Structure 1
């Protein structure tokens, strides 16, 4: 052991505080008060606490009732400071002198090849007295026995042989595959032989930040149990305990002949060194069995989520305050770390009903397609068919439960569904403006490109729907206002068009937008979104303009000399400024 420098001399009237650093591989910290002299024996209180000074309500040892006054802590926290508080009983007159010894027992240089031995220890002797000067010194040898002390008093736990406390620790090999995906390989493994006389101990090092956001998985399987001939002491079982440094508590895995496989999952494990201890136990007496060697399969690895969240969840990488971690996003009412808690899960009938509602509600696009074809709006009809097809199969693939059917990748179906929905609104409003064919085709193509860009940026944004709709309505309003000014009459000219088509269609479309923006949630998604399909498709059937009537044709005029043909065009109707039914014929003839 490396000696520590002496502490400076202090003068403390009623209390003394000592700080001791506990290194790695320490399995016992023993604090002992020696050569204590005072009124009424040894009127002192002894307290020990890790990481912080002891409190008055902490566990304390009365040195008047113990001879010697000794406090031992097994399996202390490694790489931490321990605080030792010695306090005099209140109201005790005179001076109390004592010597404080702290002994650290570690296994860093233990060897099972040698005969049983006492592990190396460091003893810290501090002669001190309340009311007089004192000092601190470190000695490599055990503290001498004083008048009021013995080396092994009655009632104090006897020191166990080194073979019972110090065992060789076998390291593991780390192999990083991906984010929160690490495999720990055991040398000459993964099959491990567990001897009967001592445990098999392995260490797994989890790195800070890199390994704390996943799940630590341990798998133990019993393969072979070799036992010599003779009377049996009961069924042999294997046990493994996993725990961090400095903690008496751990996680227990148990396997036997009837249950040969055991798994343990620890979400978001604390970083540091984790130790796996395997030992053969006798099932009847739950103690180490003699001359029994078990061969087990041990597997340890890190994964982002538990079983990849199963069929009712999706494993996602999340970031909060620069902390990266993985978590399961559960669907269909499932909960839990791995989406395995079915306390609030949806039934199969409910999943089937929601899927049918979302898919069959797209049949409402059939009437708008028929109306568009009849009115010679073939491009608009193609957009409606595209929307109906991809919306149906997207919702069949988007279901969270087991009623799922995907004809292609989910991301492709989602993009096409959103693009088709927005394009249906766009082409319908542009068609209502009755623009010239060239202008209308340019707006159709420009809208498709801009909507694709917007969806690539944010598919679930509300302005992806409101932006194109408001822009198209602005174009339609400008076109209708221009026609109204030129004709000096409201456009469309007939009141029946307003009463039976435009007003109902506008109300239905506004209701659909309000439901989509303010009412739809994850809980009511399946029926509110189905209503959205019905309303948006129904509004298209009302708002789509009627077919433009053909202008009256003039009879063939007498051919002039030099004229090969004549082309008669109704100028006002071609520009879409008047209604074909009431337009007067004003032709421009060119030859």
Structure 2
């Protein structure tokens, strides 16, 4: 299972829908084929079976209880003679039916053939398949099959009380004791010394489970946390992970060697963590794998006193930790004579590795019915615990990007000054609001450690988005030169509707385009009505179009194009800074000039003709305000 790394959905005023998105669906499927009525073999009891020409294979199973270190299957044909009288293949596989690449042996003659499976997983079924070759004889073959389980001696537990021992009982027998086992089929029975190998039968010490929170479990050993390891035997511990509840975290294991307990001997303590069955460590070449079983190996010594192991998204079930102390220098070690090493053992289950460190955030995720935790890395860091710095951003780059995004908002200062001088006080307040919250939102939104938040991130993001949309709204409405009452109503209505839209979907396309298009519609309607009433293009002066409206529109259009088609996650830091400067610069060009009145015109002249507001607008927009008042009289009379 891979670590989950997420990237932020939006930064600044990023919206979804400005460009085509590549949509894909990853749908994993698990097809389970359940085999019904699979014959259960009674350990130690031979079972006589037949293979017909129309059915060239037979499947059986046997349950492996705890403390079983070997499964062996024996097959012998009945009434067959000759070298090729028994053309059968015997296969073994734990947990699932055998395949063509599973452990197998080919039986040829009448003598018994045997196949062994060392260290089978405890608490699971082992499947046995007997096959006849496709080009084999077209006759019925009779054979006897016997499966034996070699278990560690349990002096304190009877055979019937061993977990899973009753799973191999036929239903007709229930929990009754089995009759005595018959002699082996064609092979000599192993002696007593061969049936109880000491390297696999050390006692397993249980651990105490303490659940603290979701994916937060501590495992305590009895009379711990220090463990004394005598030289003659290892120590085995069992860690039980529950299904569903423990599979989405990280299993961590820490070993710390107490050097004062070594008495100046060159002792190395090895640990082997395996799943479902413990694995003993040899005296010579120390490995944590054997045939079909592989685990995790760690070691501590006087030169390296601490060892840590982390297993993300571990398999549920029982994990076994085997600790053993050996002396000497690698790669070959010998059993220590009198040194008893002491180690401090700490095992726990946590949501994430080291809480994802300073460059990540641990998040609890849910996919359908699966719950798991993963690190959301930032600033280019990767890995299970956000510790891989191969593609990480340097501190200087993080500081530069933060300064660019924050200081580029100072470009709103000229529009604020211009708005105040033109007596657009309300518009200037909106620009100040946008500049303030955009600056501190980007200071809080940085992916690295150069982060400064004056309040909650969600509040800063909402205010930044609202200020950006309100700046566009009030600028376009101001360009329409509506009546003061109508303009104030539109300002208030826009603020309420934009707040509602951002609360519904902060990153939607129409949250940006909807208000802008609606405001542009109001502007176009107002200018069209005036142009029709006056029979002249509005605004009438070519200087206004050439030096203000056209440059401002080009700057704003360039900002939108950069924002929609050029800005990516890699170039976000400088492209979005350019977006700030272009939008602020376009406001300075598009904001209309202050409406002026001619105080030297006679009061009677101002009262006749067209309305007061229209006269004020016309004398400024036509550029006819001069030292005299005659121009005003001619305008109002027209």
Q: TM (normalized to structure 1)?
A: 0.81
Give yes or no for the alignment of 1:253 onto 2:298.
yes
Q: Retained in 2: the 8 A contact 1:225–1:293?
A: no
Q: What is the CA distance between 1:102 and its match in structure 2? A: 0.8
Distance 2:230 2:187 in 1: 39
What is the CA deviation profile of residues 451-480 of structure 1, one whole-angstrom value per residue up to 9, with x for unaligned ones?
233333333333222122112222222332
Give yes or no for the alignment of 1:239 onto 2:273.
no
Distance 2:236 2:519 in 1: 71
- The alpha-carbon distance between structure 1 residues 447 and 186, as it changes in their structure 2 partners (threshold 3 A), is farther
Match of 2:389 among 342, 347, 354: 342
Distance 2:610 2:231 in 1: 104
3-state SS of 1:311 partner: coil
In structure 1, what is the equivalent of residue 63 of structure 2?
22
What is the CA deviation profile of residues 472-501 of structure 1, one whole-angstrom value per residue up to 9, with x for unaligned ones?
222222332333333333322222212221
Query: Counterparts of 1:109-188 in structure 2 under 5 Å?
Result: 110-111=154-155, 139-145=178-184, 148-152=186-190, 158-161=194-197, 164-178=200-214, 180-188=215-223
Query: Counterparts of 1:345-424 in structure 2 under 5 Å?
Result: 345-424=392-471
3-state SS of 2:189 partner: coil
What is the CA deviation profile of residues 196-216 of structure 1, one whole-angstrom value per residue up to 9, with x for unaligned ones?
443333333333333222222
In structure 2, what is the equivalent of residue 564 of structure 1?
none
In structure 2, what is the equivalent of residue 264 of structure 1?
309
- The alpha-carbon distance between structure 1 residues 152 and 10, as it changes in their structure 2 partners (threshold 3 A), is closer
Report the more deviating stretch, 462-471 or 181-190.
181-190
Q: What is the CA distance between 1:533 and its match in structure 2? A: 0.8
3-state SS of 1:201 partner: strand
Distance 2:184 2:166 in 1: 16
In structure 2, what is the equivalent of residue 131 of structure 1?
none
Distance 1:455 1:119 in 2: 60
What is the CA deviation profile of residues 263-305 of structure 1, one whole-angstrom value per residue up to 9, with x for unaligned ones?
1122222222222222223343435534443332222223332
Higher relative contact order, chain-length normalized (CA < 8 Å, sep 6+): 2
Give yes or no for the alignment of 1:189 onto 2:224.
yes
Query: Counterparts of 1:475-490 in structure 2 under 5 Å?
Result: 475-490=522-537
Distance 1:125 1:545 in 2: 93
Q: Retained in 2: the 8 A contact 1:54–1:83?
A: yes
Distance 2:98 2:429 in 1: 79
Q: Retained in 1: the 8 A contact 2:91–2:103?
A: yes
What is the CA deviation profile of residues 351-379 of structure 1, one whole-angstrom value per residue up to 9, with x for unaligned ones?
33323322222222121112112111122
Distance 1:215 1:120 in 2: 29
Unaligned runs of 5+ in 2: 1-40, 171-176, 278-291, 625-630
Distance 2:295 2:406 in 1: 51
In structure 2, what is the equivalent of residue 69 of structure 1?
113
Aligned CA RMSD, in angstroms, stands at 4.2
Distance 1:541 1:322 in 2: 54
Q: What is the CA distance between 1:28 and its match in structure 2? A: 2.0
Aligned length: 556
Q: Retained in 2: the 8 A contact 1:193–1:295?
A: yes
3-state SS of 2:126 partner: strand
Distance 2:210 2:229 in 1: 22
- The alpha-carbon distance between structure 1 residues 176 and 124, as it changes in their structure 2 partners (threshold 3 A), is closer
3-state SS of 2:73 partner: strand
Structure with the higher fraction of residues in strand conformation = 1
3-state SS of 2:348 partner: strand
Q: Retained in 2: the 8 A contact 1:364–1:533?
A: yes
Distance 1:394 1:120 in 2: 61
In structure 1, what is the equivalent of residue 234 of structure 2?
199
Q: Retained in 1: the 8 A contact 2:50–2:140?
A: no
Q: What is the CA distance between 1:388 and its match in structure 2? A: 1.9
What is the CA deviation profile of residues 146-205 of structure 1, one whole-angstrom value per residue up to 9, with x for unaligned ones?
5x421239xx99333457424234033131413x33333334433333344433333333
Q: What is the CA distance between 1:539 and its match in structure 2? A: 0.6
In structure 2, what is the equivalent of residue 104 of structure 1?
149
Q: What is the CA distance between 1:541 and its match in structure 2? A: 0.5
In structure 2, what is the equivalent of residue 129 of structure 1?
none
Match of 1:82 among 109, 113, 126: 126
Q: What is the CA distance between 1:536 and its match in structure 2? A: 0.5
- The alpha-carbon distance between structure 1 residues 428 and 339, as it changes in their structure 2 partners (threshold 3 A), is same
Q: What is the CA distance between 1:524 and its match in structure 2? A: 1.3
Unaligned runs of 5+ in 1: 127-137, 558-566, 587-591
In structure 1, what is the equivalent of residue 587 of structure 2?
540
Query: Counterparts of 1:222-233 in structure 2 under 5 Å?
Result: 222-223=257-258, 226=261
In structure 2, what is the equivalent of residue 211 of structure 1?
246
- The alpha-carbon distance between structure 1 residues 10 and 498, as it changes in their structure 2 partners (threshold 3 A), is same
Distance 1:164 1:371 in 2: 86
Q: What is the CA distance between 1:538 and its match in structure 2? A: 0.9
Distance 1:169 1:46 in 2: 37
Distance 1:469 1:413 in 2: 22
Query: Counterparts of 1:303-318 in structure 2 under 5 Å?
Result: 303-318=350-365
Match of 2:104 among 53, 56, 60: 60
What is the CA deviation profile of residues 196-249 of structure 1, one whole-angstrom value per residue up to 9, with x for unaligned ones?
44333333333333322222222222236646x8xx8x5222222222216721
Q: What is the CA distance between 1:343 and its match in structure 2? A: 1.9
- The alpha-carbon distance between structure 1 residues 216 and 69, as it changes in their structure 2 partners (threshold 3 A), is same
Distance 1:579 1:499 in 2: 19
3-state SS of 2:358 partner: helix
Q: What is the CA distance between 1:542 and its match in structure 2? A: 0.5
Q: What is the CA distance between 1:440 and its match in structure 2? A: 2.3
- The alpha-carbon distance between structure 1 residues 48 and 163, as it changes in their structure 2 partners (threshold 3 A), is closer
3-state SS of 2:62 partner: strand
3-state SS of 2:537 partner: coil
Give yes or no for the alignment of 1:572 onto 2:607.
no
Q: What is the CA distance between 1:546 and its match in structure 2? A: 0.2
Distance 2:167 2:73 in 1: 9
Q: Retained in 2: the 8 A contact 1:487–1:578?
A: no
